[in-house]
Amino acid sequence: MDRQWAVEESATVAVRPEVAYRAVAELRRMGEWSPECRAVWVRRGPAGVGTRFVGWNRKGWLLWFTTGRVTVADQGREFAFRVVTFGLPVAEWGYRFQPAGDGGSTVTEYWTDLRRGRGARLTEVLGRIFSGTRAEDRAAVNRAGMRTTLERLRHSLEGRSTEGRQAR
């Protein structure tokens, strides 16, 4: 099977793109939605271009952390960050937000594997050790994780809006 280097998934949520963007840009909330990320440490939020953070991840009994830096913070349109481990590139993660009828939006989560060139083999081995996932299987694992993340995000955002509370 050929290795897949990029994946994306989309979901429609019943909130405006700006509302969905603000939730995702508040990096500390990522642990609410992601099946792997348990917590994010960041000095301030919502995050802007250049903001650095640490993500604490867990899969079963395996625990690991990565560091990230926000690369795109286009209010209401796109939010993205690059993840590294031990200073070596691992991946770019991002979200695009587009209007979708009746005040809703389509949220597209995307991932690009950056483990190429210098240090690629080392980051693949570290990924296998810490996450238990082979590099060849990472795209499929991330696709399933994106579906879970987007569903949890949708539920969280729509739950807030239907209860009459203002979404952040």
Distance CA 71, CA 54 (A): 15
Q: Is residue 84 part of a domain?
A: yes
Cα 38 to Cα 14, 17, 28, distances in angstroms: 25, 25, 10
Flag whether 150 is in a domain: yes
Domain that holds residue 18: 6-162
Share of the chain above pLDDT 90, in %: 59
CATH of the domain at 140: 3.30.530.20
pLDDT bin (cut points 50, 70, 90) of residue 116 is: confident
Q: Is residue 1 part of a domain?
A: no
pLDDT for residue 43 is more than 90: no
pLDDT attached to residue 167:
38
pLDDT at 48 > cutoff 60: yes
User: What per-residue confidence (pLDDT) applies to 45?
Assistant: 64
Instruction: Give the pLDDT confidence of 67-112 residue by residue, as tens digits.
Output: 999 999 999 999 999 999 888 888 999 999 999 988 999 999 999 9
Tally of domains within the chain: 1
- Can you give the pLDDT at residue 11? 97
Give the pLDDT confidence of 151-161 residue by residue, as tens digits: 999 999 998 54
Residue in 150, 154, 129, 156 with CA at minimum distance from that of residue 59 = 129
Does the residue 167 lie in any domain?
no
Strand residues in 101-140 grouped as ranges (E): 104-113
Note the pTM of the prediction, 2 decimals. 0.86
